Amino acid sequence: MTPVSFHILYEDPEFIAIHKPSGILVHRTRISEDTVFVLQLLRDQVGHHVFPVHRLDRMTSGVLIFGKNKEAAGSLSELFREQKIEKKYLAVVRGHLPVKGIINYDLARSPDHQKQTALTHYCTLDQTEIPHAISRYPTSRYSLMEVMPKTGRFHQIRKHFAHLRHPVIGDRPHGDCKHNKYLREKLGISTMLLHAQSFSFIHPHTQKRVIIESELDNSFLEALKTLNLHFKEVD
């Protein structure tokens, strides 16, 4: 197996942030059969242990931050819990949405857990309509969204857009299986189109603002090209 080397987006004495490609788990889970994970690969790459601050789903790409020690990881994790991290994601969803909106819909990790407040802001960057009849309509519509989750619940972005009936493209458990299958088999779009674009926060010790940004994977860029979606400035 070819050694994996992650692109380091930011590093200081306490934290290190990388670009996480789509398709790899952050760490081992009880139900996963994977044998490689970001946590161990990054440890081998930098030569010391790293400690997770937050997580990204297997198929989500983008900014992923670790502490270089437990104390550093704990201090940044606290900022996440206190909603003091400004997060921006990019997502392609089915259908057309308003220019701006807020999704305020409580979520629970499982039916046995009490629901928790979950809040997501979004704005539409671009929209497209392609001449492919995937469901009952003669054409298919998609939107490129900038998404700003204000809370950090499990699968929050994916569940929130599914709640609006505008699921993220490539999302299996919460998405549209007909669209996912067609885009995968006919247009070659096989990845989930969700990307952690930037994280911004006040450094717990230096008190200076840190902005960490990550570029899109080639597979995401190719999907945008195929769907004729482009970035646009939003007022």
Residues serving a catalytic function are 57
> Quick one: tokens of 123?
């704005």
Residue 140 · residue 130 · CB < 8 Å: yes
Q: Give dist(CA 169, CA 55) in Å, integer.
A: 20
Tell me, what amino acid is at 127?
Answer: Q
Query: Is residue 200 within 8 Å of 85, Cβ to Cβ?
Result: yes
